Amino acid sequence: MTGVPILEAQHIVKELGEGEGKVVALNDVSLSLYPGEFTLLMGPSGSGKTTLLSILGCILTPTSGSVKLAGESVEGSQPEKLAGLRRAHLGFIFQSYNLFPTLNAVDNVRIALDVRGFSRADRRRRALRALHNVGLDHRLRSYPGTLSGGEKQRVAVARAIASSPAIILADEPTAALDAENGQAIMELLAKIAKKDNCAILAVTHDPRTIPHADRVIEIEDGKILEQKKSAQFTRIAADTSGSENASNSDQRKRQVHA
């Protein structure tokens, strides 16, 4: 990817615990995120995906290594400054939606704008626009209890994009959804990345989401294994599937002629 990264992480190490119980959750991890690019971070459970996402989101502090957000180093920053950087540059999407059950869709989006200093009129305007952009004009006054899983996640996406962040970090955004709704959410995120020139990083373990991404990063045991364009992963999967199908066909032929 060319251009200037909006977020850079260099040689990130994260150790958890102490003494004999110490675990190296991340080991010398480096990556960059670019405006307009939709990136997937894939790996098995316990590979360090969520830990890395939390460090990139200025929620956790690395044991060593550096993070730059919008060209500004966050190393040594106090909690108040980190909170300010999150408000200024980041949007978050969670697999469990994190919606307030007593607030309707508009207010669930608008409440996330309250801490960002927007005027009351601007908060409402941004909330309505964000919900329109995720296709929920017909559900503005609906409460979470009356929404489907896909609709709840669309409200969560609207909440993340309402402040026009430079970066969106999504932690397993399709994990609680069926296949159809999961694909729809990934397609929506891909469109948002391009339309809003936003860098989006989504943690996932679902290979069906690969075609929607621009780039795929594989992580295992706290180390990045590969970074490739999604088309390369899609082609490898297709080649593997084709080989398996051919093998199965040959096996059936042998059985028939036996």
* Measured torsion, CA atoms of residues 89, 132, 134, 123, in degrees rounded to the nearest 10: 30
In a domain, 104, yes or no: yes
In a domain, 198, yes or no: yes
Residue 162 DSSP symbol: T
In a domain, 12, yes or no: no
For residue 107, the enclosing domain spans 36-61+84-243
Look at 183 and 251; give whichever has higher pLDDT.
Answer: 183
Is the model's pLDDT at 39 over the cut of 60?
A: yes
Nearest to 157 by CA among 196, 183, 131, 180: 131
Domains identified in the chain, total number: 1
Summarize pLDDT for 56-76 with one digit per residue, the tens. Answer: 999 999 999 999 999 999 988
In a domain, 251, yes or no: no
Q: Which residues of 12-44 are buried (b: 16+ CB within 10 A; e: fewer)?
A: bebeeeeeeeeebbbeebebbbbbbbbbbbbbe
Look at 248 and 36; give whichever has higher pLDDT.
Answer: 36
In a domain, 20, yes or no: no
In a domain, 2, yes or no: no
Summarize pLDDT for 107-163 with one digit per residue, the tens. Answer: 999 999 988 888 899 999 999 999 999 999 999 999 999 999 999 999 999 999 999
Packing angle between helix 149-161 and helix 120-133, nearest 10 degrees? 130
- Domain with residue 124: its CATH number is 3.40.50.300
In a domain, 249, yes or no: no
Nearest to 143 by CA among 100, 177, 185, 114: 100
Model pTM score: 0.85
In a domain, 177, yes or no: yes
